[in-house]
Structure 1
Amino acid sequence: MHAAADRLEFAPPATPGVVRALLLALLAHGLLVAALTAGVQWKREAQIIAAEAELWAAVPLAAAPRLQPPPPEPVPPERPEPATRTAPTPEPVVARPKVDIALEQEKKRIQQQKQLELEKQQEALKQARLAQEKALEEMRKADTLKQALADKAKLAQKKKLAEQQARQLEAQREKNLQRMTGLAGASGGATASGTALKSAGPSATYAGRVIARVKPNIVFTETISGNPSAVVSVRTSADGTIIASRLIQSSGVKAWDEAVLRAIDKTAALPRDTDGRVPSPLEFSFRPKD
């Protein structure tokens, strides 16, 4: 008893209004069921069954034609009234919006600017073409001048060559005249075939005379086998003074070649030929045993 009393004492209190809530719930459900029942009954009464039927006669009969009204009497044509010229109705002037006017003005300005730029480009092309034609004309003038100078130089060269040839011909003519004039005083023999007044070479005995003058000045004490020849070229002035001497062909004995060259230098001058001249240059052959 005490335990049961303790439990009831510490149990939560009962919720108030439980019965009232239960009654309200039952009432709400009843109203909902009544509303649904009324809706179903209303739909059943609103439905109407529609049916069609066709009637057929036992004996087929044709219907009589419908009564047609009489045709109307023709109406006489009306006289055409004289045509009167009516002035055309002027179209109403519609004020254009300012935006369209501004756009059209901007379009015109752009077109004018493009036209101006096109004209400038055409003018620039024209000036460039004129400048190119002028440059070509200058080049043609330069080429013409260059060709004229080249022709002038060729003409001068031809003139100079002609003058040189004329001088050569004149000199040759003078030589021919001198040769023809001096043929009477020529000193050649009866069988001579030359055209000069005197022979350019020495006489037949001149080489022996030169060797006879140079050989006493040769100092050579060595003994050699054979009789080798040393050929020497001697150049002299008009009076016979020895200017230079050189060995043309060696004898094979160096001591003999040097002895000959020393003897020529010691001789200093060569004798004159039979015509009083000293031919130059001359070549002489010296042998040690001659």
Structure 2
Amino acid sequence: MPAATDRIEFAPPPPPGRLRALALAVLAHVLLMLALTWGITWNREAQDLSVEAELWARVPQEAAPAPTPPPVVQAPPVTPPAPPPAPPEPKAGPPAPPVVQPKPPDIALEREKRRQEEAERRREAQEKQKQLEARKHREELERKKELEARRQAEEQKKLEAKRKKEEQERREATADKKRAEEQARAKKQQEDARRVQALREENLRRMQNMANGTGGPSSSGTAARSAGPSESYAGRIRARVKPNIVFTDDIAGNPTAEIEVRMAPDGTITSKRVVKSSGVSSWDAAVLRALDKTEVLPRDIDGRVHSPLIIEFRPKG
């Protein structure tokens, strides 16, 4: 007893899922049996099918009447005592009508009929196609006519707009021309009036200057005083600036430097600039340094200072 108990304790455990595997195997066999049974039954039912067909003629035909059987002629009764008379000739009954066999369908007639029907269908299809093409052609012509009419209307509208624009431009040009002529006429009248006024003022000023002249004995002008510098003014400026020029370079020719000088009312030099260079930068710089050193230029004989004043400087006088 203890030995059996030890063997059970040390035996390997049973594999799990044995009942589930057994149930699945039974279910698979049952499904297989059902599938086989259904297949055998289906094959047996398929063999029991029967097909019936009825034949009908393409053209309905009427069957001929059944033949009439001849009438049955009964012989007269025989009298035993009397000798039998000669048997009368049997009367022939009415002839049986001929059996009319059903006329087989005419295959050629059927073919011709089918051919005519097919030709009729083709002709109808062609007629419909022609009508459709004719309708499309008419619609295309109408559409082209409509487009042409629309194009002509647009061109007419453009021509009308262009004509109106040209007419407007012509009117505007005429108006501008008239306006310009009026403006030119008014401007000319204003210039004439201004010229007349200036001439009158000039005459009055000349008359007044002649009455109060300040020129020298040899002066032949009509103004109250000379507008430009006197003849001796250039020599006075040269005498004031020349001692301040320091230039020792030896150059070819006698280039001229033109300097614009601006002065205050007392002759003080306020600004200077080279208007025209001599081409020798050292001579231009020497002249500018001399003006800076001079600082003040002399006044003219009438006490005026001419500003701005352009002075020419040459290295050789």
Does the alignment reach a TM-score above 0.5? no
Report 1 or 2 for greater relative contact order, CA contacts < 8 Å, sequence distance ≥ 6: 1
Task: Determine which structure has more spread, i.e. the larger CA radius of gyration.
Answer: 1
